[in-house]
Structure 1
Amino acid sequence: MKKTAKILFILLAFAIILTGCEADISVPGEVGQDIITADEALKMIEKEDVVVVDTQKSGDFEDQHFEGAVNIARNDITTFGPYPNMLADASKVESSLGENGISNQTKVIIYDNNNNMDAARLWWTMLVYGHDTANMKVISGGLNALEEAGAEFVSGDYEAEAVEYKAAEKNEELIATKEEILEQVNNPEDDIVILDVRTADEVSEGVIPGAIHINYVENNKDNGEFYPPSYIQRYYPDNDITPDKEVIMYCQTSIRAAQSFLALHNAGYRDLKLYDGAWIEWSSDSSTPKGMLSGAPAEPSAQDGS
């Protein structure tokens, strides 16, 4: 996939040189398949057999959640060792999904109330363990968008009929290690880029050397919904993150980074990795180099907030 994307990119660049015209950078994957609007979600729920997953903390879920939703919180799919919020092992993920009525063939619609980050993290986790992307959708804007769309909400607990979920072998191609990043820092390759999605205050205290900074909230419009793929396809290339490159992203514990992963995947990017140990692992190791950022992300060349 990576080699094919590079060939497409080279051909496109050559065509631009010959014609002298501007052109959008081609993306290797399907576009707009992972994120849906609240209206689209409600139509799917009405017509199809789906499981709606609320990824709020259990207490917040009990206060308010979409009627009929099950609850899979961050703690149900992560572990706190050796660093916070790292990917849980297959058995824990299997239990969390199966106990909530999710099998390998289940269509799942996911939402949160946290800037799309926890919904994206569950989506990424299921991707790592082999769930078909055609059967996973994240609701853009989460709970607030559902409320705006007229969804019914309830409070209290719920019951779900347990089923069996069998995780596939962990897809290591979606996960970057500290050693991988150290190799990139020491011997940079032009076709690999490191993306830091933390806040300006966080990155002011240090970054992985060579990282490009784009706060994950830049993927969201003011109302909390994701920007459409057309916007992402302009904004990220303007900041040297193009679909022909391998993009390794991280934040403090790589929960927010999963949201950027989803935004890019939805825009057709496919050579993506999450550094799961994230800045906490990197900064806690005195032997790893730390750098400082210069400048701010560029504005998109053509905004499309539709």
Structure 2
Amino acid sequence: MSHKRDIWVNHVQLRNIIIEKPNVKIFEVGFNTYHEFVESHIPGAMFLDTCYFEQPPLWKIVGLPEIYQTFKKFRITPSSTVILYGRQVAAAARVAHIMLYAGLSDIRLLDGDYAGYKQSNLPTESGGHNLKDVAMEGVVAFIANRSLVCDKSIAKSLLEERNASLVSVRSPKEVNGRCSGYSYIKQKGDIIGAKWGHAGTSAYLMEDYFGPDNYILPLEHIERLWESEGILKHHKVAFYCGTAWRASVAFLCAYSLGWKDICVYDGGWLDWIQEECSK
């Protein structure tokens, strides 16, 4: 029996969590968008750049010691409740998945993202933060959930298993080889044998998961889309995309639905094509 998890929270729930939880951290997540954060953000939030957690050229997850150093900088402990939002929901989802992988258990995503927050006429503030004023002393022990991430060898093995699904969370144009989806990925196409997990019209849009207002569609609707492609909750499932942002959105939807044996194939299509590139 699956048990649903509360990941997506609305603006009212956000306020209640801040009041009720003793160790709440709010972060805006983005890639090289600190200047936007400084101009305007949710009161009390701090900024996390995705580069704290993934690095080029393959944009794979950094080592756990580096992740824990970032946790230390921002006083994140195993008992912290972490609320994430961004200007791109996939950026926040990427970091949310990595935090779960690193051992945090109470992770929330703000439904509607920052755009929805502002449209609700809720208060904002401006200004940056000084990490020297934030960092804590000492190292706090975390227990990593390593099964939430898989590599190419495991991704390949899922293609051969009967009750398993390697799931492509990419646009039809990417899946059909009409484009790679990214300026830094030349090779077009997709993994032969992978199942399509739906996504959107480009590498930066996910209309199959979110409405035009940036709010997540009913999770049961998304689950039915997967079922129509043969992706089932009793399967061992690995989600991937061009690298991992959209795959993290899909992972969090499955996680919220209570799916058990799920992970993200870190590096995705960009990682998969490296063997071909080296020939």
TM-score class, shorter: 0.7 to 0.9
* Secondary structure of the structure 1 residue equivalent to 2:165: strand
> Percent identity among equivalent residues?
20
In structure 2, which of residues 204, 217, 236 is the aligned counterpart of residue 246 of structure 1?
A: 236
Give the TM-score of the pair, scaled to structure 1: 0.77
Deviations 1:258-285, CA, capped at 9 Å, x for gaps: 1111111111212111110210111221
How far 1:32 sits from its partner (Å)? 4.3
Give the TM-score of the pair, scaled to structure 2: 0.84
Cα separation, 1, equivalents of 2:79 and 2:245 = 25
Check conservation: 1:85, 1:255, Cα contact below 8 A.
no
Check conservation: 1:72, 1:96, Cα contact below 8 A.
no
| Corresponding position of 1:140 | 111
Check conservation: 1:42, 1:151, Cα contact below 8 A.
no
1:211 aligns with 2:194: yes
Check conservation: 1:32, 1:266, Cα contact below 8 A.
yes
Cα separation, 2, equivalents of 1:199 and 1:167 = 39
How far 1:139 sits from its partner (Å)? 0.8
How far 1:173 sits from its partner (Å)? 1.2
* Secondary structure of the structure 2 residue equivalent to 1:55: strand
In structure 2, which of residues 99, 123, 130 is the aligned counterpart of residue 152 of structure 1?
A: 123
Cα separation, 2, equivalents of 1:153 and 1:59 = 15
Cα separation, 2, equivalents of 1:274 and 1:167 = 24
Question: Which amino acid in the other structure matches residue 215 of structure 1?
Answer: A
How far 1:98 sits from its partner (Å)? 1.9
Check conservation: 2:14, 2:110, Cα contact below 8 A.
yes
Equivalences for residues 146-185 of structure 1 within 5 A? 146-159=117-130, 160-163=133-136, 164=138, 166=140, 168-185=142-159
Question: Which amino acid in the other structure matches residue 255 of structure 1?
Answer: W
More moved, 119-128 vs 223-232: 223-232
Question: Which amino acid in the other structure matches residue 193 of structure 1?
Answer: S
Mark the structure with the bigger radius of gyration. 1
Name structure 1 gaps, 5 residues minimum.
Answer: 1-27, 289-306
Q: Aligned pairs, how many?
A: 254
Deviations 1:101-123, CA, capped at 9 Å, x for gaps: 22221111111111x21111111
Cα separation, 2, equivalents of 1:29 and 1:78 = 31
Name structure 2 gaps, 5 residues minimum.
Answer: 178-188, 201-205
How far 1:72 sits from its partner (Å)? 0.9
Question: Which amino acid in the other structure matches residue 121 of structure 1?
Answer: R
Tell me: CA distance 1:243–1:165, structure 2 relative to 1, closer, same or farther (3 Å).
farther
In structure 2, which of residues 40, 48, 57 is the aligned counterpart of residue 72 of structure 1?
A: 48
